[in-house]
Chains A and B, each alone.
Chain A
């Protein structure tokens, strides 16, 4: 809707406030009914169907719904590990969903989970369906933990990837950000220190129950230091989320419902083209050290949710490296562009700071599961915070949470706003 399309397509763009208001009226509010993530440590011989079923049953078990009540859904997967054609049908079949239940497969890199939510959100917001299922899964058949994914080239700009992996893109981006805005390694060290602290308060985290690394280790300018500041591994993971329409939420009598809003934006998949983005002239000064796709997505979702960045009580961002998280905060408008490093150094992302961030520990705690849970884990933490169930890491009185995830070196970003007391 937002992007001006080709000469062939004439896209209707609302021009007046009345028109905008009319459009917004047409969408229903979408409520998160329940959510679940599989436990860590699946045996290596677990097939993807088993992981998917586990997440789904765990999620459905929290509700009063039956399998037959699921009307629509979307499933995010990674084409690297799951090669079934018409995957939507395969998933619907393995979960025993009714014949009428459509299941749209999404392969959208690491933010595929966000994209599946985006689909189901629209199915419900449009009024056609009342109950929708969002599935994500990542199965370690080949290579899909952080360590194993490192040596794999990037799936986007496939013909021209020529041996460039996630890690290489990530480091180039971090170094350019540091050079452009004059930071040393300390903002990333501080970020990871806070995340390590949160990870020890999050029972689902890989780091839970382990010793806290010293700040000296986290700020070391070495390969070990870089690893200590980066996301860890998790392995096979699946999540399930059930969304319902506002009417259905009332019908089910949900107490304190959490509504969600979601938006998506992309940049050219070839990373060199991040230095010239034709879409919007205001993004011209930006390159890989800023996040225009997050800005674009955030702009829309904030408008839909009727919030401003100042209203955000807790932010959950995709941080495979510390600087990546910092850049995301800038993209979300939580701090000015280029000031993210100072924002973190001032302790603003810790509990009691201006915007507590990644209170679950982020990538350090949950690891990089790609499409498995990279978006969902942020969303689930946001819901826990709004429900007041984040115990030792609870942000007091949290009413608005933002969850974000990206795919393929921030060429695609999903931003979601979660609100409490919105119905």
Chain B
């Protein structure tokens, strides 16, 4: 059965403290900020973007798998902040990783849910026999696309997760995936626009209650098709753009929040877009040494809908070396002042017609 063969994560080294941003803007009450559960978030360096983050997580993933890059015959790059609007960023990654030219390579852009969509496509490719090993790279730099002073600035961050999918040497089998989608006027950026906007507002109906509505549909479909209940899952990775979102999601699918809260990473990384839930899933995979453990991963993309994925670990997971993967990355950090964050995220309007930005 197809599933995850290996995983890799990359998170930028730089962080900004939520209080540092709050001191500048004071655009939300401290109480709400604390309820959101955001302590700090990642900041991309001046030379980082989804492609560089994706390249790093993919390298780590291939290293963990211990396979030659020539054995990979599919690559799907999932991102909602792809630097290229037309050209495939996945081809850049293909060359960076040295994959063969006949590899199936494509981009997937579908809000925060891009990663789940890419896994769905990859699983179909494998199950149909089209590809043997598919690399899914989910990477986002939301932080670069949120305007200064926007409330989501406390959460919008960057990170990447790569999963190698296939049928040989699987450490976690993907049992099923179910989706629910709907056109919601929320979290979008039209062509030519510099910044993302939460069309329906930060705490509005669509942003948060929409999450719950959509999750109920996809979860009901998943539960019915597989004959499972929330209690069957010991480990759950929930949507966690802000920490409070995981509590809301657990309410929607009526699971025990304590199956999910220990694996939530967004309080220290922020919302890494399509990579967030997958990094949380890797955090879970880091902690499991035995087969037959049931994992539930739930994704939600503002503006498009939700996804539910059920996984079962295999005994092979015990022999994965160099774990944990996620925790050391969370600990390797350097805090930045807010002014430098604005510079690194290129949010200051500068002279772009001179000989360079300074001369």
Chain A directly contacts chain B within the complex, with at least one CB pair under 8 Å:
yes
Interface residues of chain A, those whose CB is within 8 Å of chain B, are 142-143, 148, 151
Bound complex: CA A78 to CA B359 (Å): 21
Question: Do most interface residues of chain B lie in helix, strand or loop, or is the interface mixed?
Answer: loop
- Give B contacts to A, CB under 8 Å: 355-356, 358-359
Shortest beta-carbon distance, A379 to chain B, in Å? 33
Residues of A within 8 A of B355 (CB): 142-143
List chain A residues, Cβ under 8 A from B356: 151
Question: CA separation between A148 and B358, bound complex, in Å?
Answer: 11
Closest residue of chain A to B358 (Cβ to Cβ) is A151
List, sorted by A's number, 7 A–B pairs whose CB atoms are closer than 8 Å. A142-B355, A143-B355, A143-B359, A148-B359, A151-B356, A151-B358, A151-B359
Write out the residue numbers on chain B whose beta carbons fall within 8 Å of the beta carbon of A142. 355
Chain A's interface: helix, strand, loop or mixed, by majority?
A: loop
Name which residue of chain B comes closest to A142, CB basis. B355
B residues near A151, Cβ cutoff 8 Å: 356, 358-359
Q: Report the bound CA distance from A143 to B359 in whole Å.
A: 10
Bound-state Cα–Cα, A142 to B355, Å? 9
Give the docked Cα–Cα distance between A37 and B356 (Å): 32
Interchain CA distance A142-B356 in the complex, whole Å: 12
B201 to chain A minimum Cβ distance, whole angstroms, is 42
Q: How far is the CB of A73 from chain B (nearest CB, A)?
A: 33
- Min C-beta distance of A160 to chain B, whole Å: 16
A148 to B359, CA, bound (A): 9
Measured CA separation A160–B359 after assembly (Å): 24
For B358, the chain A residues whose CB sits under 8 A away are 151
Q: Chain A residues near B359: list those with CB within 8 A.
A: 143, 148, 151
Q: Specify the chain A residue showing the minimal Cβ separation from B47.
A: A163
A148 and B356 alpha carbons, distance in the complex (Å): 12
A353 vs B299: C-alpha distance in the bound complex, in angstroms? 78
Closest chain-B Cβ to A191's Cβ sits at a distance in Å of 31
Give A50 to B358 CA distance when docked, in angstroms: 30
**Residues on B with beta carbons closer than 8 Å to the beta carbon of A148:** 359
How far is it, in angstroms, between the C-alpha of A143 and the C-alpha of B355 when the chains are bound? 10
Cα of A151 to Cα of B359 in the assembled complex, Å:
10
Would you give the shortest CB distance from A44 to chain B, in whole angstroms?
A: 15
Rank and list the top 7 A-B pairs by shortest CB-CB distance, nearest first.
Answer: A142-B355, A151-B356, A143-B355, A151-B359, A148-B359, A143-B359, A151-B358
Tell me the smallest distance from the CB of A402 to a CB of chain B, in Å: 38
Chain B nearest CB from A149 CB (Å) reads: 12
Determine how close the nearest CB of chain B comes to the CB of A139; give it in whole angstroms: 16
Q: B46: shortest Cβ distance to chain A, in Å?
A: 12
User: A142 to B359, alpha carbons, bound, how many Å?
Assistant: 10
| Chain B residues closer than 8 Å to A143, beta-carbon distance | 355, 359
* B354 → chain A closest CB, angstroms: 12
A87 to chain B, nearest CB (A): 23
User: How many Å lie between the Cα of A151 and that of B354 in the bound state?
Assistant: 14
Q: Closest chain B residue to A148 by CB distance?
A: B359
A32–B356 Cα gap in the complex (Å)?
Answer: 43
User: Smallest Cβ distance from B148 to chain A, in angstroms?
Assistant: 27
Min CB–CB distance B90 → chain A (angstroms): 24
Q: Closest CB-CB distance, A146 to chain B, in whole Å? A: 15
From residue B51, how far is it (CB to closest CB) to chain A in Å? 16
In the assembled complex, the CB of A189 is this many whole angstroms from the nearest CB of chain B, namely 31
Expressed in whole angstroms, the minimum distance between the Cβ of A40 and any Cβ of chain B is: 23
Q: How far is the CA of A151 from the CA of B356 in the complex (A)?
A: 10
* Chain B min CB distance to A351 (Å): 41
User: Could you tell me the distance between the alpha carbons of A151 and B357 in the complex, rounded to whole angstroms?
Assistant: 12
Q: Shortest distance in angstroms between A153's beta carbon and chain B's nearest beta carbon?
A: 11
Shortest beta-carbon distance from B358 to chain A in Å: 8
Rounded to whole Å, the gap between the CB of A186 and the closest CB of chain B is 34
| Bound Cα distance A148, B355 (Å) | 11
B297 CB, min distance to chain A CBs, angstroms: 39
A81 to chain B, nearest CB (A): 13
| CB of B240, distance to nearest CB on chain A (Å) | 37
Complex CA gap A143/B354 in Å reads: 13
Instruction: Give the distance in Å from the alpha carbon of A151 to the alpha carbon of B244 in the complex.
Output: 47
Cα separation A94 to B355 with both chains bound (whole Å): 29
